Amino acid sequence: MHLIVPFANVVSEAGRHAATTLELPHLQRLLARATPGPCLGGDEMSLTPPHELAFARHCGWRADEGRIAWAAQRASQDSIDPGGQAWGWLTPVHLHLGTEQVSMADPETLSLDEPTARELFESVRTLFESEGFVLRFGAPLRWYLSHPSLAELPTASLDRVIGRHIDAWLPDAPAARLVRRLQSEVQMLWYGHAVNERREAAGLLTVNSLWLSGCGLAAEVPMPAQAPQVDDSLRTPALAEDWAAWCEAWRTLDAGPLAALAEPPPEATLTLAGERRAASFALGAAPWWQRWRAPSAAAVLESL
């Protein structure tokens, strides 16, 4: 078993201060019988967050910077045959125009139902297909785009962009120019669209753009015999910068899944991933002398 915990710590100063107030007894028990493994990541401005990198490395996938083929891997789960083609993941999003920057709202907050999503999908299908792309619908927040130019295109994960100024994350590779032009055309098409008029009348955020991520070939992401388990309970409060809720989610995680892991064996691997680094620990019967020098939970979180 391999448990990955994304957003175990954050780059926000307020969030890191909140982390120092946590008491996590079960995590501390785990660390006392854990053997540290290699760390991954190192920079919060990388296109791929550490938790995604850890997942890909466990599965034996290609995991270059910004180049994990999530779309091709997930398409088959949505009953779409990726074949030998290159795919990208298109997510309907709301971009907020501020006084000095454009930021992205968490797509999960759009409450986008399938009929509405399909209406928006059909409104842009011809636009993409006229440029030689294949567009497929998987779910309200999972649209799939196929084109040879996506095979080597690095893109930023949504978990990097949500709540941040998007300019730093827009792909600038030559292969991205056509996609960025189409993205601009989508924004114009959806401005004043009937769907968004209805959403505004209902007090909902408009859907005013698309975000491309997870590009690559299906051959790069074969399904492993046993994929890691991912506990996403810290993600939403971290992205919303709700540190009280994030701390409460940490306490629940410690009292639940981590408490279960802390029971004597089974052997397992625990990966704690922040926004800069991911630290992995092999859980088992550590030598007695190692328990005396086990790192504190606070020190591990601070290192992320």
Q: What domains can you pick out in the chain, each with its CATH number?
A: 2-60+225-303 (no CATH), 70-220 (3.30.70)
Residue 283 has pLDDT above 90, yes or no: no
Site of tokens 């007695």 = 288
In the chain, where does DSSP find H-type helix? Answer: 13-19, 25-32, 50-59, 70-77, 114-129, 158-161, 177-190, 194-201, 235-239, 243-255, 257-262, 288-292, 297-303
Q: What is the pLDDT of residues 144-175, one digit of tens each?
A: 999 999 999 999 999 999 999 998 888 777 77
> What proportion of the chain, given as a percentage, has pLDDT over 70?
96
Hey, what amino acid is at 158? L
CB 234, CB 5: distance < 8 Å: yes
Residue 287 has pLDDT above 60, yes or no: no
Q: N- to C-terminal Cα distance for the chain?
A: 22
- Residues 79-84, mean pLDDT to the nearest whole number: 91
- Which of 97 and 212 is assigned the larger pLDDT? 212
Residue 127 has pLDDT above 90, yes or no: yes
For the ranges 58-67, 107-116, 132-141, the lowest mean pLDDT is seen at 58-67
Candidates 231, 143, 65; CA nearest to 56 is 65
For the ranges 91-100, 153-162, 285-294, the lowest mean pLDDT is seen at 285-294
Helix (H, G, I), strand (E, B) or coil at 266: coil
pLDDT of the residue at 41: 87
Q: What is the pLDDT of residues 232-277, one digit of tens each?
A: 999 999 999 999 999 999 999 999 999 998 776 567 899 999 999 9
Residue 291 has pLDDT above 80, yes or no: no
The chain-wide mean pLDDT, for the chain, equals 91
Q: What is the pLDDT of residues 34-61, one digit of tens each?
A: 888 889 988 899 999 999 999 999 999 9
In DSSP terms, 88 is beta-bridged to 145
pLDDT of the residue at 267: 78
- Residues 134-140, mean pLDDT to the nearest whole number: 97
pLDDT of the residue at 255: 96
> What proportion of the chain, given as a percentage, has pLDDT over 90?
73
DSSP codes of every residue in 136-166: EEEETTEEEEE-GGGTT-----HHHHBTSBG
Residue 128 has pLDDT above 70, yes or no: yes
CB 256, CB 283: distance < 8 Å: no
pLDDT of the residue at 167: 87
pLDDT of the residue at 276: 96
- Residues 84-101, mean pLDDT to the nearest whole number: 90
* Paired tokens of 298: 């606070």
